[in-house]
Amino acid sequence: MGFRPRTIIEPFRIKSVEPIRSTTAEHRRAALAAAGHNLFLLHADDVLIDLLTDSGTGAMSSAQWGGMLQGDESYAGSRSFYRLEQAVRQITGLKHVIPTHQGRAAERILFGTVCGPGDVVPNNTHFDTTRANVEFRGAEARDLLIAEGRQPGLYHPFKGNMDLARLEATLAEVGRERIPLCMITVTNNSGGGQPVSMANVRAVSALCHSHGIPLFIDACRFAENAWFIKQREEGYADLTPLLIAQELFSYADGCTMSAKKDGMANIGGFLALNDDAWAQRCKDLLILGEGFPTYGGLAGYDMEAIAIGLGEALEEDYLRYRVRSIEYLGEKLIAAGIPIIQPTGGHAVYLDAGALLPHIPPGQYPAQALCGALYLAAGVRAVEIGSVMFGRPRPDGGEEPASLELVRLAFPRRVYTQSHVDYLAEALEYVAARREQIRGLHMVYQAPTLRHFTARFEPL
Ligand SMILES: *Cc1c(COP(=O)(O)O)cnc(C)c1O
């Protein structure tokens, strides 16, 4: 008669607290107007629960803070670097470990070294910085996600999988000479934080290797992906997340990593790879832009925090709590009839604003309007992933909308508790019940690139 609790509690107690600030509806209305209805332009102090991103926003553990005091700030040969190198090698088995200030620096160095005009880089779905770094080299970033991954309401255990038939067709069409490497993103951030199965990574690796093409993993959420494999893929239930991660990386020739995600740190990243010649060229580029190879744009204490965080990200109690909190919010929203991407992913819940607000056409940015409404009602900051972010100008002066109008609620790691999640569910139910009152927006300013960060709107 062992106690089997239904409630999955936060697997930590709180040693240091940071107050969050409640504001009045009137204050929020003024703040939102001053920000041009773009939540990126709010002061964070005007936000009660901040779900803008899970990147670098997590809480570090007492072990990480303790480790930071022992960081070795030596310019060359820092002890903290060797610690990080050992932690990365233990998980990935990769030979060369190159620290960078964050994930996109690892991408810039990798693509700057191996990628050129006319090349094609396949991926399940390129994250936006990955795509930008590939395109900056004059190469094509080609997304080859399985068709199920693009249908919000459809259940599939591994909606992040690469479409093997399309990958094979790409390899045949483009040829080995113009594909310097293939990537696979775990979990698939831009596709809803959906996992990739071990079988899929194994098959992608075999296919790439049969053509002599190296496979790199975009590993930002490798631990969350390992947890989904443990839960959903046959044969993995009894393995530890570490063993699963080790197998996953055994199929790869390298990886890029943002330690702001499953590195459990506030800043940092790395590039790891086996090829000696590529590693040498990457280190040369690293020195040019980031720093000496044993710190690469990080302080010794950052490397210490990441070395410890990588192990903590793989702890079962932590992963169970993390994935469960997100699934729990998803269940509440589904029960309330609020449309979301299903199943919920590893780091975020995605609301289908297009389905929730059918009275607002894409050209009036329904997902951006929903973000504003949620902030006004409850002080919650989410992010639009729709036509503000991905809309493309048409030659006739109009705009090609994004394929989906989504609002992402991304969860910082180890920051919020179940009562915060209950509050969120209540807030979303309140907003959804008043959906008819939400009006579209008119964009009054946009920058030529990455307009979502700085665009300004007026309500219609
Ligand atoms: C965050 C992220 C990156 C880029 O990392 P930064 O640390 O933000 O530069 C790359 N790929 C994926 C999948 C990400 O989520």
CB proximity list for 191: less than 8 A, separation 6 or greater: 124, 125, 145, 149, 150, 159, 160
Helix (H) or strand (E) holding 226: helix 222-232
- As for how many domains the chain has, the answer is 2
| Ligand 1 closest atom vs CA 260 | 7
Ligand 1 contact, 224 CB (< 6 A): no
My answer on whether 169 and 279 are in the same domain is yes
Count how many residues are written for the chain: 460
CA 4 to centroid of ligand 1, rounded, Å: 37
Strands 456-459 and 441-445: antiparallel
Number of helices and strands in the chain (H, E): 16, 16
Q: Please report which confidence band the pLDDT of residue 191 belongs to, taking 50, 70 and 90 as the band edges.
A: confident
Ligand 1 contact, 127 CB (< 6 A): yes
Asked whether residue 329 is domain-assigned, the answer is yes
Domain ends where: 283, 312, 341? 312
Q: Please report which confidence band the pLDDT of residue 128 belongs to, taking 50, 70 and 90 as the band edges.
A: confident
* pLDDT at residue 393 in the model: 79
Asked whether residue 74 is domain-assigned, the answer is yes
Asked whether residue 443 is domain-assigned, the answer is yes
Look up residue 358 and give its two tokens.
């059918």
CA 340 to centroid of ligand 1, rounded, Å: 23
Asked whether residue 383 is domain-assigned, the answer is yes
pLDDT (mean) for 113-118 = 96
Look up residue 290 and give its two tokens.
């980031």
My answer on whether 223 and 247 are in the same domain is yes
Domain ends where: 312, 330, 356? 312
My answer on whether 89 and 133 are in the same domain is yes
| Ligand 1 closest atom vs CA 185 | 13
Ligand 1 contact, 220 CB (< 6 A): yes
Q: H helices within 70-141, ranges in order?
A: 79-92, 103-114, 128-136
| Ligand 1 closest atom vs CA 190 | 13
Ranking 95-104, 187-196, 282-291, 370-379 by mean pLDDT, the lowest is 187-196
CB proximity list for 229: less than 8 A, separation 6 or greater: 195, 197, 198, 236, 244, 248
Yes or no: say if 121 and 101 are a contact pair by the CB < 8 Å rule: no
User: Residue with the nearest Cα to atom 12 of ligand 1?
Assistant: 127
Q: What is the DSSP secondary structure assignment for residue 294, as one 8-state letter?
A: T
CA 106 to centroid of ligand 1, rounded, Å: 10
- Give the burial class of 232: count Cβ atoms within 10 A of its Cβ; 0-12 exposed, 13-18 middle, 19 or more buried: middle
My answer on whether 213 and 362 are in the same domain is no
Asked whether residue 295 is domain-assigned, the answer is yes
Question: Which among 136, 220, 221, 264 is the best mutation to test ligand 1's pocket, defined by most ligand atoms within 8 Å of the CB?
Answer: 220
* pLDDT at residue 8 in the model: 84
Question: Which among 107, 124, 129 is the best mutation to test ligand 1's pocket, defined by most ligand atoms within 8 Å of the CB?
Answer: 129
* pLDDT at residue 381 in the model: 98
**249 φ, ψ (degrees, to nearest 5):** -70, -20
Yes or no: say if 58 and 264 are a contact pair by the CB < 8 Å rule: yes
Yes or no: say if 184 and 217 are a contact pair by the CB < 8 Å rule: yes
* pLDDT at residue 161 in the model: 97
> What one-letter code names the amino acid at 304?
E
CA 24 to centroid of ligand 1, rounded, Å: 34
Ligand 1 contact, 130 CB (< 6 A): yes
Ligand 1 contact, 297 CB (< 6 A): no
Note down the domain range covering 345.
25-54+316-459
Residue 42 has pLDDT above 90, yes or no: yes
My answer on whether 410 and 333 are in the same domain is yes
My answer on whether 34 and 94 are in the same domain is no
Instruction: Write out pLDDT tens, residues 3-33.
Output: 988 888 999 999 999 999 999 999 999 999 9
Cα angle at 241 between 330 and 122, to 5 degrees?
A: 75
* pLDDT at residue 441 in the model: 97
Domain ends where: 258, 283, 312? 312
* pLDDT at residue 447 in the model: 87
CA distance 63 to 48: 27
* pLDDT at residue 152 in the model: 84
Question: How far does CA 186 lie from the centroid of its chain?
Answer: 9
Ligand 1 contact, 55 CB (< 6 A): yes
Closest CA to 367 of 409, 430, 330: 409
CA 270 to centroid of ligand 1, rounded, Å: 11
CA 378 to centroid of ligand 1, rounded, Å: 28
CA 220 to centroid of ligand 1, rounded, Å: 6
For the chain, the average pLDDT equals 96
CA 190 to centroid of ligand 1, rounded, Å: 10
Instruction: Write out pLDDT tens, residues 343-368.
Output: 999 999 999 999 999 999 999 999 99
| Ligand 1 closest atom vs CA 269 | 7
pLDDT (mean) for 253-265 = 98
Taking CA atoms, 282 is separated from 92, 234, 288, 390, in Å, by 18, 38, 10, 31
**285 φ, ψ (degrees, to nearest 5):** -70, -35
The region that residue 138 occupies, defined by phi over 0 for left and psi between -120 and 50 for alpha, beta otherwise, is left
Ligand 1 contact, 301 CB (< 6 A): no
> What one-letter code names the amino acid at 348?
A
Look up residue 268 and give its two tokens.
């940092």
My answer on whether 195 and 174 are in the same domain is yes
Which CATH number belongs to the domain containing residue 218 in this structure?
3.40.640.10
